[in-house]
Amino acid sequence: MDFELTDEQVLVRDTAREFAEREIAPRARDNSRNQHFDTALVARIAEQGYLGAIVPREYGGAGLDYVTYGLVVEQVGRACSAMRTVVSVQTSLVCSVIVKFGTEEQKHHWLPQLCSGDILGCFALTEPDTGSDAANQKTRATRVDGGWRLHGSKMWISNGNVAKLALVFAQTDPALGHKGIACFLVDTDQEGFVPSPIHGKMGMHGADTASIALDDVFVPEDQMLGEVGQGFKIAMTSLDSGRYSVAAGCVGICQGSLDESVKYAKERQQFGRPIASFQLVQAMIADMRVKTDAARMLVLRAGWLKDAGRPNTTETSIAKLFATEAAVWCANEAIQVHGGAGYVDDHPVERYFRDSRVTTLYEGTSQIQKMIIGRAETGINALVPDA
């Protein structure tokens, strides 16, 4: 592997950083304080081409490789995890699987709208009783003349209140288990699709999160993504891309925590000198640097494997596990460096800590990532124990 970035990758990374510092970071605190989903900022992010970064140009995307995409997501995540969530959901969870599993008609209809930001998408897999056990879908799809009718509910759906397109996973035949799951491209503009905002979240206050009721929602026959029985595979493929994006965004949190800690430690005076001169403060900063570099290397490896077309599920899980846990750790240490000042949102480290915590939960908990890694090492699938 050659970790030297190309001139184009450096340009894209630096441009993303400048954009994030100019447009995203200045609005992050107020958006979080006001629990405001900033549609105007989403539109600016779309103008940069970040909502379809890995989508081929023929469908309206930027045509970036995964390594370059990861560099962009890191910079967005460093500025605001709520806006990084929009990029991750739109690009990794929704667009990437339409590219892989969609018909040409589906691709040409949906992808240009998603990449331009004209519409937003959401990934409706999780249910009130179905989290890590993603194959246990309670939402039902019943075949009718001209298509399907969906009944059920979804939970913790990012972008769910603002999405025009929802990728909804539903069981067509419970007797088939995961082989009966199908994925549907659902136009949310119909009476039976009823999203509700989820309030009281610990973090991600600037992100939109919904519970969704599906009551006799109609999906035309030509809006199934893939075939009946491919739904579970589509979901796992989508999560492979999504976990990479989450990991890259968490590298941004690590880097932001480090940068803010260095800046504050050099400015803050105690006992007549900057606290950066104290050994224990330097130890915290050194540990942050090590975890940041390690997380970035693991993300680069996963991206390199994706771009090479090589198997990468395990490596992506490793990157997701390490980077998300590192983000929580680095944000916590950054608050410690800041002392009482870090406990209020005058400094971004307070928001880093609250926003990072969910990354160890969604798109596969840290425990699920360990099971995926453990399965790769032992050949034994602990996710489905023997009866």
Half-sphere exposure of 299 (CA within 13 A, CB side): 33
Helical H segments across 80-215, by residue range: 81-87, 96-101, 104-116
To the query of whether residue 363 is one of the catalytic residues in this protein, the response is yes
- Locus of tokens 């032992």: 378
Cβ within 8 Å of residue 325, ≥6 positions away: 360, 366
Q: Kindly write down the DSSP assignment for every residue of 70-89, as one continuous string.
A: HHHHHHHHHH-HHHHHHHII
- Locus of tokens 């050949």: 379
Is residue 76 within 8 Å of 46, Cβ to Cβ? Answer: no
Distance CA 349, CA 130 (A): 32
Distance CA 161, CA 154 (A): 12
Active-site pick, 127, 260, 350, 363? 363
Of 354, 361, 287, give the one whose Cα is nearest residue 80. 354
Count Cβ atoms below 10 Å from residue 254 Cβ, excluding itself: 31
- Angle at the Cα of 209 from the Cα atoms of 205 and 213, rounded to 5 degrees: 155
Label the pairing between strands 193-197 and 209-220. antiparallel
Is residue 149 within 8 Å of 218, Cβ to Cβ? Answer: yes
Distance CA 189, CA 324 (A): 35
Distance CA 318, CA 101 (A): 25
**Is residue 157 helix, strand or coil?**
strand
Beta bridge partners of 168: 124, 184
Q: Kindly write down the DSSP assignment for every residue of 25-78, as one continuous string.
A: HHHHHHHHHTT---HHHHHHHHHTTGGGTTS-GGGTS----HHHHHHHHHHHHH
**Active centre residues (catalytic):** 363
